[in-house]
């Protein structure tokens, strides 16, 4: 055993056990997923696809990848699945390679309004080699849809620029996405509709968020976050021709050998998500998010768009803390035992490394068995942290309370 490595891993285990995980893109996997990811499946090179490998000795790897594919298709009610992408970002790049040439245009939501770096950030390959044109949110505070997707503006942008692809699905958007409206716009301007459901995949699988199918031409997602599986990517479609293009874009277009231990974990994850209990889990994620949002709103916090329909919320801190940044608040919260990330808000006056907001999510706390009562307690702790403006004594007192609190909600085992 490598004592130095496992000493660090043990410290991380204790950190997770004794803190409240509120990062919207993180979760706690089951022991079965953990065991699969740490299995002997990591030892094998399996370039290619089931039945068409470039190496011998892949019989069991063919079987487990085929199982993962079949479970993914059943889970999302689609005809084709590629389970090999190493991450959500690599899944997105594979789709870009399948549908576009360098320099081609696609439409997406700007990162500062809730998009993702792989949706057109200039320093990312999606912004370096392709040309994003961005559609906005609704910014009129008198509009009932304030800080939600402006579908009329999406249509205008697409009709003006004629992108090859319309991309929807976001990393910091707390409301329902209307995939049917997006498909209507894509059809009108002659674009493919790509839906990146990395954040909401588990909610889609659990039936508490509308599915991108049958509207999407292609769907990408991660397998962690709300889906509660290993860190990895997934691409889905109902179209055989698109499926062939996707397979070629993943391998050999953008990846070499698949991570078979991660694919094994994906197979376990999809199997767990097909169980009836997962629907209840997904429902509880949303209930907890709305309870946390209510607890924060009741304590005077402003939430972007006024609340949440899914697993996450964006907290605009300026009303409570006009002189402090989201980054400062995230540091204070960590000292108190709550893990969150600073995040930009729409029209944020501060730079991305500072921000005026924090992003909170409830997948991980739901996995630990917490409910609406605990969400209100978490809202109270957040409020106390912020009122204290980082007072060391206050943070230390809350940290003790949270350590004791976490003993009642063990990690999945």
| Contact between 370 and 359 (Cβ < 8 Å) | no
The structural domains of the chain, with segments of one domain joined by +, span: 31-273, 280-406
Compute the distance between CA of residue 18 and CA of residue 404 in angstroms, rounded to an integer: 8
Sequence-separated (6 or more) residues with CB below 8 Å from residue 356: 316, 317, 318, 325, 326, 344, 345, 348, 349, 350
User: What phi, psi does 331 have (nearest 5°)?
Assistant: -65, -45
* Cα angle value 79/251/64 (rounded, 5°): 60
pTM for the whole thing?
0.96
- Res 127: pLDDT: 82
Q: Rounded CA gap, 250 and 244, in Å?
A: 10
Which two structure tokens, joined as six digits, stand for 397?
Answer: 């007192």
Q: How far apart are CA 23 and CA 312, in angstroms?
A: 9
Tokens of 41: 């499946």
pLDDT digits (tens, 9 = 90+) for 285-308: 999 999 999 999 999 999 999 999
User: Is it the case that residue 120 has pLDDT exceeding 80?
Assistant: no
Residues annotated as catalytic are: 45, 47, 196, 222, 225, 231
Give the CATH fold of the 31-273 domain.
Answer: 3.40.640
Which position has the token pair 């588990």?
Answer: 202
Tell me if 262 sits within 8 A of 108, measured CB to CB: no
31-273 and 280-406 agree in CATH topology = no
> Does the pLDDT at position 338 exceed 90?
yes
User: In this predicted model, what pLDDT tens digit does every residue of 223-264 receive, in sequence order?
Assistant: 999 999 999 999 999 999 999 999 999 999 999 999 999 999
Task: Select 280-406's CATH number: 3.30.300.280, 3.40.50.300, 3.90.1150.10, 3.40.50.10420.
Answer: 3.90.1150.10
């Amino acid at each position: 055993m490598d004592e130095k490595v496992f000493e660090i891993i043990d410290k991380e285990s204790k950190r997770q056990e004794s803190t409240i995980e509120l990062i919207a893109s993180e979760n706690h996997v089951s022991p079965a997923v953990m065991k699969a990811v740490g299995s002997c499946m990591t030892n094998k090179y399996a370039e290619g696809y089931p039945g068409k490998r470039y190496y011998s000795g892949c019989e069991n790897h063919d079987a487990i990848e085929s199982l993962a594919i079949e479970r993914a298709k059943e889970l999302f009610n689609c005809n084709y699945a590629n389970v090999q992408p190493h991450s959500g970002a690599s899944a997105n790049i594979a789709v870009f390679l399948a549908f576009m040439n360098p320099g081609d245009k696609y439409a997406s939501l700007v990162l500062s309004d809730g998009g993702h770096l792989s949706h057109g950030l200039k320093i990312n390959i999606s912004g370096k080699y392709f040309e994003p044109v961005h559609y906005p949110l609704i910014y009129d505070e008198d509009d009932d849809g304030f800080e939600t997707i402006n579908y009329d503006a999406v249509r205008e942008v697409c009709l003006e620029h004629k992108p090859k692809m319309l991309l929807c699905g976001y990393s910091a958007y707390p409301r329902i996405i209307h995939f049917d409206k997006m498909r209507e716009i894509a059809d009108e301007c002659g674009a493919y509709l790509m839906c990146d459901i990395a954040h909401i995949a588990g909610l889609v699988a659990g039936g508490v968020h509308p599915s991108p199918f049958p509207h999407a031409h292609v769907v990408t997602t991660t397998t962690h976050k709300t889906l509660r599986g290993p860190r990895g990517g997934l691409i889905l479609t109902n179209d055989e021709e698109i499926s062939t293009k996707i397979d070629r874009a993943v391998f050999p277009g953008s990846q070499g050998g698949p991570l078979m231990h991660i694919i094994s974990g994906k197979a376990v994850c999809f199997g767990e998500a097909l169980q009836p209990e997962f629907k209840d889990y997904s429902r509880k994620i949303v209930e907890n998010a709305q309870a946390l949002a209510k607890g924060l709103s009741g304590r005077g916090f402003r939430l972007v768009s006024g609340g949440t329909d899914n697993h996450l919320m964006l907290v605009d801190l300026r009303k409570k803390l006009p002189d402090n940044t989201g980054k400062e608040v995230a540091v204070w919260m960590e000292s108190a035992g709550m893990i969150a990330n600073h995040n930009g808000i729409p029209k944020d006056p501060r730079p991305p490394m500072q921000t005026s907001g924090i992003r909170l999510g409830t997948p991980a706390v739901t996995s630990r068995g917490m409910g609406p009562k605990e969400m209100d307690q978490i809202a109270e702790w957040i409020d106390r942290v912020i009122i204290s403006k980082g007072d060391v004594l206050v943070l230390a007192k809350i940290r003790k309370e949270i350590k004791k609190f976490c003993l009642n909600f063990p990690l999945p085992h």
